[in-house]
Amino acid sequence: MTMPNQYILLATLSLQEAKESSEIENIITTQDDLYRSYYPTQQFISTSAKEVHNYAKALTTGFDTITTTGLLTNNTIIDIQQIIESNNAGFRTQGGTQLVDQQNKKTVYTPPQTGQKIIALMSDLERFINDDQLSDYDDLVKMALIHHQFESIHPFYDGNGRTGRILNILYLSKQKLLGAPILYLSRYLNRHKTEYYQLLQAVRDNKSNNDDWQAWLLFMLKALQVTSQDTLKTIKGIIALMLNCKQTIKAKLPKIYSHELINNLFTHPYTKVEFVTDELGIHRNTASKYLNQLVDIGLLTKHKLGKDNYYLNRELYDLLSS
């Protein structure tokens, strides 16, 4: 709420979430490729950067839908997976899906196999997500239960991991625990991937009865706690950098100062002449002059890639990567 322009957080943090969540599925992209790609014009530096941008798009599309309807339905879940995977296969109708341990190639878990069973289970889950009367558990606990159940149903042929992690944030937003979708668990889950996978499975193996549920819930609550603290730190860091940037431009280049310029520099860690031209509504030559002046006073650094020049806001980039 203290951010002058919340879109900055959505643009930067949702891409970080997309990066981390995709990395859990071994889709690896660098910060450079990520921020040099641009979804609106479909310019992607690499195929994995494209997948990561699709994930961010799926997330914001899901958020827009629940903001409008107040519901998180199976249709929305199908739309999300469709944007992530760029296919419209929908829920599985054929058997054969198994979860395999990547190291020893053994099957860890066989999710439900028939289309009928998947639809029945997803209908139950949809009811659980949307009808608050069905359970009086805390919403954070419900989020962890929903994630476990969704991954256990594994309703799609692919994209289940990433779709399930988007559901976490959408559920918290739907329950109005978040005003903007900016609490992203994937960094924590990625750092604790082995435990994340083990705990998902342990509940099902249930070797020590109910303790496995407890361990799973505590793991997810810890993920929420750590992520909340980290996110607040990041937001405070961005606010401080914006203030510093504003003061520096006002002092050294007062003629080019505008809110729109500051917003541009903090929405795109790597900005370009085109972005400034579009977002400030100024001529290309003027945009180019502004960016070079910002390089001269040390606020940006210039990098050439192919035909394009990119202007890096290094401090923002470092803060988001840290």
Ligand X SMILES: Nc1ncnc2c1ncn2[C@@H]1O[C@H](COP(=O)(O)OP(=O)(O)OP(=O)(O)O)[C@@H](O)[C@H]1O
Positions in the binding site for ligand X (CB under 6 A): 24-25, 99, 108-109, 151-152, 158-162, 164, 197, 200-201
Minimal distance in Å, beta carbon 160 to ligand X?
Answer: 3
Residue nearest to ligand X (CB): 161
Say what angle helices 139-153 and 211-252 make with each other, to 10 degrees.
Answer: 110
Q: Minimum distance from CB of 193 to ligand X (Å)?
A: 8
Cβ 292 to ligand X, closest distance in Å?
Answer: 42
Among residues 2 and 104, whose Cβ is nearest to ligand X? Answer: 104
CB of 282 to ligand X, least distance (A): 41
The residue (of 101 and 132) whose beta carbon lies closer to ligand X is 101
109 or 128, CB closer to ligand X? 109
* Residue placing its CB nearer to ligand X in the complex, 215 or 253: 215
Provide the minimum distance between the beta carbon of 151 and ligand X in the complex, in angstroms, as a whole number: 3
Q: Which of 185, 291 has the CB closer to ligand X?
A: 185
